[in-house]
Amino acid sequence: MAAPEDRADTGPALGGTRLALPAVAPKTGVPAPGCPAGGEGEERPEPAFRTLDRFAWARWAEASGGISAEALSEAWVDWATHLAISPGKQTELAWKAGRKWMRLWSNWVMSAVGSDRTPPCIEPLPQDRRFEAEDWQREPYRTLWQAFLLGQQWWFNATTGVPGVSRRHERIVEFSARQALDMLSPSNFIATNPEVLDRTLREGGMNLARGYAFLIDDLLRLATDRPEQDEAFRPGVGTALTPGKVVYRNRLIELIQYAPATETVHAVPLLVVPAWIMKYYILDLRPENSFIGHLVRKGYTVFCISWKNPGPEDRDIGFEDYVHLGVDSALEAVAAITGQDRVNALGYCLGGTLLAVAAAAHARNGNGRLGSLSFLASQVDFSEAGELSVFINESQLELLEAMMWEKGYLDQKRMAGAFRILRSRDLIWSRMMREYLMGERTKPSDLAAWSQDATRMPFRMHSEYLRHFYLNDDFAEGRLEIEGTRVHPSDIELPVFSVATERDHIAPWKSVYKMLYLMRAPTDFVLVSGGHNTGIVAPPGTKKAHFRRLRHAEDEPVPDPDQWLAATSPRPGSWWGTYTAWLARRSGGRVPPPPMGRADAGYGAICDAPGTYVLMR
C-alpha cells in the first residue's frame, strides 16, 4: 500500500544503518556502511558462492519449517553423549522411574479397591487445564493422565542436570522434549480423551463432522492466504476505536494524536512506543479495555506510534532507523504540537527496549526531551530472555537471514508461529482438540484477533536486533553503539515505571527485573498477574487481578527477586490506577488541551485514527 502524499520525511536518509557493525557484517559478506575504500573494508560485489549458500539455506528453511535442525541435533548429541558417560545420572533416573511407577501403581490399587477420594499421585500445574474435567477422574483415564504427567516430569529430570551439557543445549533439549510430549498428551487423541468420547456418543459423531469441516476451512485459508482475523475486530471497526488523528507520517511510522476527553489535561504529553512485531492496538482494543482510552479519560494527552508493515522495499531499514525515524521523529512532532519541552514516554515489549536505547542515546548526547520512562513487559538485559531465546544461535540466525534475504523481510506467519510454539499446549494442541475433536469453534475475541494480526520484519533490522540483543546482549554489556557512541542502560537517570507479568513466556519477569540493576534511576517495579498480554490489558474490574509493587531509589541495593516476591503480599485489583497516579506526579499541572496537530509547524491532521499503516497486510 503506497502512503498518500503528506509532510516530507525529515528523518535521516535510509539505505544503511548507523548501528555499529563489524567492517563486514557477520556471515553476510556485505560491507557495513561507511567502510573505507581499499584493504579489507573495500566494497565489492557479494560473491556468487555466498548467494548460492543463501539460496540453499532458504530452501532448507522452507523444508524444516524455519527451525535449524543442525542446532537441534548438536544439542541432543551433547546431551546424549554426556548422559552416556554419567553412570550416577543414569542410576538416579532409573531410581526416579521406579519410584514414580510404584506411586502410580499404589494409587491405582487404592482407587480400584473403592477409595474414590484417593488424591492423585501427581497434580497438574496450575496453568495446565487439560485434565480438569470430571470425566478425567474415571478409570482408566485417571491413571492415564497421571502416567503421562509422571512421564513428563521424568523427562524434565532426564533432560536437565546432566553433567557437562552446556546451559544453552540443556534448554534446547528440555524445551523440544516438552514440546514433543505435549503433542503426545492423551487429551489430543479420540481414544484416550473421555470428553471427546462422551461427546461423540451423545452426538452420534456430529462433533467430528463439524471438526472435519473446521479443519478443511482452516487448510483452505492457509492455501489461499486468506486472513484469519475476524472482521468484527478489524481496527477502526471493532477495535482501535479511541478517537484521534494521524498528525505525522514517514516511511516507517504514523503518529496518532488522541482527542482529549476532559476539559483540561496534564501539561506533559505521553508518547506510546509499541512493539513493531505486532500492531499497536493491543493498547487500544475495545473501549472497555483500552489502556490508551483509559489514559485519555484520565486527562492525559496521548500520542501513539503505529508502525508500518514493511515490504521488500524496506529490506535495508536498520535498527537505528527505528530509533530515529520512530522514537526521535515522534518526540519531535509531539513537542512541536504541544509546545512542551518535555515528553513522557511509554514502551511496550520490544518498543520498550527501543525506547530504552533511544533514552540512553539521548542521555549521551545531552538531549533532555524525555521526562520519564514507562516500560510494559520490556527487557534491557537479554541474558535470560525466556524461551524465545532458546533457539537464537548462529545456525538459527543464518537460517532466518537466508529466509529474509530472499524476500527482504521475515514473513509474519513465521513470527506468529514462533509465538504459538512457545505456548503450544494452549495455542495449538488444546485448540485443535476443542475445534477438530469436540467440534467447537473457538469464540472470537479482540485479543485473539489482535494476536493473529502480526507484521513483517525488515531483513536488516531483524537481523541486527536478534544479533545485538538476543544473541550477544550488547546493550546490557555496553557494546551497542548509536551514531558511533556506545550506550548502556546505566546512562538512563530518568524516573522509571516498569511493569512485568507473572506468567510471561516472552519477557520473563526476572529478566525484566534486571532493569533495576542496570539503570541509575529511581524505579517503581510492578509485578502483575497474568501473561505477557493479559497482564497488561487488565482494566479495573478484571477478575482475580493483583499486583506487587517495589519502590526502588537509585542509591539503594536491589533486593533479591525471589526474596522480594516471598516477602511482598499482592494487592488485589488492576495496576492501571497505580500507574496513572505515578504518571500524574510527573505530568505537570492541568492546562487546556493542545490543538489536534499543528499545520503551521508541518504536523497537520492527515486522516482519522487508526490511520492507514495499521490496515496494511
Cell of 535: 497482564
CA–CA separation, 427 and 412 (whole Å):
17
Helix intervals (H) in 272-411: 291-297, 319-321, 329-338, 350-365, 394-407
Q: How far is CA 480 from CA 441, 487, 566, in A?
A: 47, 6, 35
Can 607 be counted among the known catalytic residues? no
What backbone torsions phi and psi does residue 383 show, to the nearest 5 degrees? -70, -25
CA–CA separation, 551 and 547 (whole Å):
13
Contact status, residue 386 vs residue 508, Cβ threshold 8 Å: yes
Q: How many helices (H) and strands (E) does the chain have?
A: 21, 17
Cell of 12: 535521516
Task: Annotate 436-473 with b (16+ C-beta within 10 A) or e (fewer).
Answer: bbbbeeeeeebbebbbebbbbbbbbbbbbbbbbbbbbb
CA–CA separation, 41 and 403 (whole Å):
26
Of the candidates 289, 305, 478, the one whose C-alpha atom is nearest the C-alpha of residue 380 is 478
Helix/strand/coil (H/E/C) assignment for every residue in 24-38: ECCCCCCECCCCCCC
Q: How far is CA 143 from CA 101, 183, 439, in A?
A: 11, 19, 26
* Three-state DSSP class for residue 247: strand
Q: Beta partners for 417? A: none
DSSP annotation string for 174-210: HHHHHHHHHHT-GGGSGGG-HHHHHHHHHHTTHHHHH
Q: Which residue has the cell 554426556?
A: 82
With a CB cutoff of 8 Å and minimum separation 6, the contacts of 4 are 606, 612
DSSP annotation string for 394-461: HHHHHHHHHHHHHHSEE-HHHHHHHHHHHTHIIIIIHHHIIIIIS--PPPP-HHHHHHT-B--EEHHH
Task: Quote the DSSP letter at residue 46.
Answer: P
Q: How far is CA 249 from CA 202, 214, 255, 305, 605, in A?
A: 57, 41, 6, 10, 10
Q: For the chain, state the CA radius of gyration.
A: 26
Count of beta carbons in the 10 Å neighbourhood of residue 365: 10
Task: Annotate 114-133 with b (16+ C-beta within 10 A) or e (fewer).
Answer: eeeebebbbebeeebebbee
Contact status, residue 333 vs residue 599, Cβ threshold 8 Å: no
CA–CA separation, 428 and 439 (whole Å):
15
Which position among 121, 304, 349, 607 bears the catalytic label? 349
- The kind and range of the H/E element at 584 are helix 576-584
CA–CA separation, 461 and 35 (whole Å):
19
Q: Which residue has the cell 503433542?
A: 183
Catalytic site residues?
A: 349
